[in-house]
Structure 1
Amino acid sequence: MTKIWTIMLAMTLAACSGAGEVAPTAAVPAGGAPGEPRDVATDLAVPWGIAFLPGGDALVTERDTARLLRVTPAGQVRRLATIEGVRPEGEGGLMGVAVKGDQIFLYYTADQDNRIVRYRLAGDRLTDQRLLVQGIPKGSIHNGGRLAFGPDGNLYATTGETGDRPLAQQRDSLGGKILRMTVDGAPAPGNPFGTLVYSYGHRNVQGLAWDPSGRLYASEFGADTYDELNLIKPGANYGWPEVEGRGDDPRFVNPVLTWSTAEASPSGLAYADGSLWMAALRGQRLWQIPLAQDGAVGRPVARFTDRYGRLRAVTTTPAGTLWVGTSNKDGRGSPRPGDDRIIAVTPSS
Structure 2
Amino acid sequence: MDVMRRLWLIALLVLTGCSAADTTPPSADVAATGPATAPTAPEAPAPRVVATGLAVPWGIAFLPGGDALVTERDSARLLRVTPKGRVTEVAKIAEARPDGEGGLMGVAVRDDLVFLYYTAEADNRVVRYRLAGGRLDQPKVLVEGIPKGAIHNGGRLAFGPDGSLYAATGEVGDPGLAQRPDSLAGKILRVNPDGGAEVHSLGHRNVQGIAWDEQGRMYASEFGQNTSDEVNLIEKGRNYGWPEVEGRGDDPRFTDPVATWSTADASPSGLAYARGSLWMGALRGARLWQIPLDAQGRAGTPVAHFEEGYGRLRAVALAPDGTLWVGTSNKDGRGSPSQDDDRILAVIPGR
Give the alignment's TM-score, normalised by structure 1.
0.92
Q: Amino acid of the residue matched to residue 317 of structure 2?
A: T
Q: Deviations over 1:290-347 (max 9, x none)?
A: 1122212110000000320000000000111100000000011111110000000001
SS in 2 for 1:235: coil
Distance of 1:337 and 1:3 partners within structure 2: 30
2:180 is equivalent to residue 170 of structure 1 = yes
TM-superposed deviation, 1:348: 2.6
Identity of paired residues, percent?
A: 68
TM-superposed deviation, 1:280: 0.2
Q: Do the aligned residues in 2 keep the contact of 1:5 with 1:299 (CA within 8 Å)?
A: no
Q: Deviations over 1:62-121 (max 9, x none)?
A: 000000000001010000000121100000000000000000000000111001000000
Runs of 4+ aligned residues of structure 1 deviating over 2 Å after TM superposition are 1-8, 30-33
Counterpart in 1 of 2:119? 109
Q: Amino acid of the residue matched to residue 135 of structure 1?
A: G
Give the alignment's TM-score, normalised by structure 2.
0.91
Counterpart in 2 of 1:54? 64
Q: Deviations over 1:43-77 (max 9, x none)?
A: 00000000000000000000000000000010100
Q: Do the aligned residues in 1 keep the contact of 2:76 with 2:92 (CA within 8 Å)?
A: yes
Counterpart in 2 of 1:32? 42
Mind listing any 5+ residue stretches in structure 1 that lack a counterpart? 12-22, 188-195
Distance of 1:154 and 1:3 partners within structure 2: 35
Counterpart in 1 of 2:250? 248
TM-superposed deviation, 1:5: 4.2
Q: Do the aligned residues in 2 keep the contact of 1:31 with 1:275 (CA within 8 Å)?
A: no
Distance of 1:278 and 1:38 partners within structure 2: 18
Q: 1:210 aligns with which of 212, 219, 223?
A: 212
Distance of 2:133 and 2:44 partners within structure 1: 35
2:284 is equivalent to residue 270 of structure 1 = no
Q: Amino acid of the residue matched to residue 164 of structure 1?
A: D
Number of residue pairs the alignment of both structures matches: 328
Counterpart in 2 of 1:151? 161
Q: 1:95 aligns with which of 95, 98, 105?
A: 105
Q: Deviations over 1:146-181 (max 9, x none)?
A: 000000000000000000010000011000000012
SS in 2 for 1:166: helix
Q: 1:308 aligns with which of 289, 307, 310?
A: 310
SS in 1 for 2:178: helix
2:92 is equivalent to residue 82 of structure 1 = yes
Distance of 1:348 and 1:258 partners within structure 2: 22
- The 5 Å alignment of 1:289-308 reads 289-308=291-310
TM-superposed deviation, 1:186: 3.2
2:138 is equivalent to residue 136 of structure 1 = no
SS in 1 for 2:209: strand
Q: CA-atom RMSD, angstroms? A: 1.4
Go from structure 1 to structure 2 and tell me whether the alpha carbon gap of 1:279 and 1:6 turns closer, same or farther (over 3 Å shift).
closer
Q: Amino acid of the residue matched to residue 336 of structure 1?
A: S
2:128 is equivalent to residue 118 of structure 1 = yes
Distance of 1:197 and 1:158 partners within structure 2: 10
